Amino acid sequence: MSDAQDVHRGFSTISADLPVLVQQGGSEWPQRLRSLSLTGVETDQPDRWDAQYNEPFTLLIDTGAREPLELHAWLQDVAGGLLSFTVEHVDRENIQPLSALLRQHLGDDEQLEEDLRRLDAEDQDGDPED
């Protein structure tokens, strides 16, 4: 995949400048969040980037809440100083804080609810709509 639209797959996307800790195995890279949707995340690219592209990542997004928003993702693209991740799955513990963050920045509850319905349908079908 080569750009943010592929990572976000047509879901509502917000631009956000929040701290995010990108983790893989014993490695950690403190970065800045650039964009976020229900299905994708973009962060800055670290100066020293020695990750394994075929292994999953954990992204810990500091939203200002007591606990960070934890997402599990796969790296899709490295280009233009950005890392583009596809979110593997949003579990029940994380869907509420993720939705709250998106709602706060989107200001369009109806669109977010449509995105949540679409994401739920994709999870049940196992086949994403493009």
* Spatial distance between the Cα atoms of 31 and 117, rounded to a whole number of angstroms: 30
Question: Is 119 in contact with 11 (CB distance < 8 Å)?
Answer: yes
pLDDT in the model for residue 99: 86
Instruction: Tell which residue, 31, 126, 48, 123, has the closest CA to residue 85.
Output: 31
pLDDT in the model for residue 1: 37
pLDDT in the model for residue 85: 96
Segments of the chain scoring below 70 in pLDDT? 1-9, 108, 124-130
Question: Is 92 in contact with 67 (CB distance < 8 Å)?
Answer: no
Domains in the chain (CATH in brackets) are 4-107 (2.40.10.220)
10-47 in b/e form (b: 16+ CB < 10 A) is ebbbbebebebbbbbeeeebebebbbbbbbbbbbbbbe
The amino acid that residue 53 corresponds to is: Y
pLDDT in the model for residue 2: 40
Which residues, other chains included, contact 125 with Cβ-Cβ below 8 Å and sequence gap of 6+? none
- What's the pTM value of the predicted model, to 2 decimals? 0.81
pLDDT in the model for residue 130: 43
pLDDT in the model for residue 120: 79
pLDDT in the model for residue 3: 46
